[in-house]
């Protein structure tokens, strides 16, 4: 969602003495949901607010607009509503997980949030190096989850990743392994 009152500030980690300067040519709204990905050399690849993905050129990523469904209730406001990890086999590809949700009410009381976890794949070698979303909104899970308590962590093998999501008002959690074979649910 573009908004005229917001702008991008760029940090260059190669030159840590620089102070970020707002770039008024790009207007991209980050609310609560946001994530960004850099390659192994630290170069920005893409960033998202959970609904739109922009590449390192600060342009919409091909096929990366409108990730939310109409019934999703302002996914851009979901704490930790997007996660990204490198693809284990293709150095130019990244697994992007986005969360869409719908607030659940009983009368006037909020009783939870029905959340949908989607798997997306970004290929930064596609589209002449400007990137493309090559897998889009693959539904992995739908449940009432604790907002802001999901996490990713690297597997002990140093190559694969774990995605953990926690059910609301429960000690139940979902565990997904992200490896060269894709994404698989464990438990």
Q: Is 76 helix (H, G, I), strand (E, B) or coil?
A: helix
* Secondary structure letter of residue 15 according to DSSP: S
Q: Is residue 3 part of a domain?
A: no
Is 2 inside any structural domain?
no
Q: Where are the strands (E) in the chain, listed by range?
A: 8-9, 22-23, 35-38, 44-48, 53-55, 82-86, 93-106, 109-123, 132-144, 151-154, 161-166, 173-179, 182-185
Q: How many domains does the chain fold into?
A: 1
Tell whether 106 is covered by a domain: yes
Let me know if residue 80 belongs to a domain.
Answer: yes
Instruction: Name the DSSP class of 62.
Output: B
Give tens-digit pLDDT for 100-140: 766 655 665 555 566 788 999 999 999 999 999 999 999 99
Task: State yes or no: pLDDT of 9 exceeds 70.
Answer: no
* The model's pTM: 0.79
State both tokens at 180: 């060269």
Which domain covers residue 70, as residue numbers? Answer: 8-185
pLDDT given for residue 2 in this prediction: 44
How sure is the predictor about 179, in pLDDT bands with cuts at 50, 70 and 90? very high
The values of phi and psi at residue 85, to 5°, are -140, 155
- pLDDT for residue 7 is more than 80: no
């Amino acid at each position: 969602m573009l908004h005229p009152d917001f702008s991008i500030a760029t940090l260059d980690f190669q030159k840590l003495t620089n102070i970020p300067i707002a770039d008024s040519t790009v207007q991209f709204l980050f609310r609560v949901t946001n994530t960004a990905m850099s390659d192994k050399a630290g170069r920005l690849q893409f960033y998202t607010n959970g609904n739109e993905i922009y590449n390192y050129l600060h342009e919409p990523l091909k096929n990366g607009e409108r990730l939310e469904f109409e019934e999703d209730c302002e996914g851009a406001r979901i704490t930790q509503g997007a996660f990204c990890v490198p693809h284990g086999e293709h150095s130019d590809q990244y697994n992007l997980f986005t969360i869409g949700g719908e607030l659940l009410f009983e009368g006037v009381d909020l009783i939870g949030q029905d959340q949908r976890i989607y798997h997306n794949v970004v290929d930064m070698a596609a589209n002449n190096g400007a990137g493309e979303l090559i897998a889009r909104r693959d539904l992995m899970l739908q449940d009432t989850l604790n907002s802001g308590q999901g996490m990713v962590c690297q597997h002990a093998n140093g190559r694969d990743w774990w995605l953990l999501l926690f059910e609301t008002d429960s000690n139940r959690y979902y565990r997904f392994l992200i490896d060269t074979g894709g994404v698989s649910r464990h438990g």
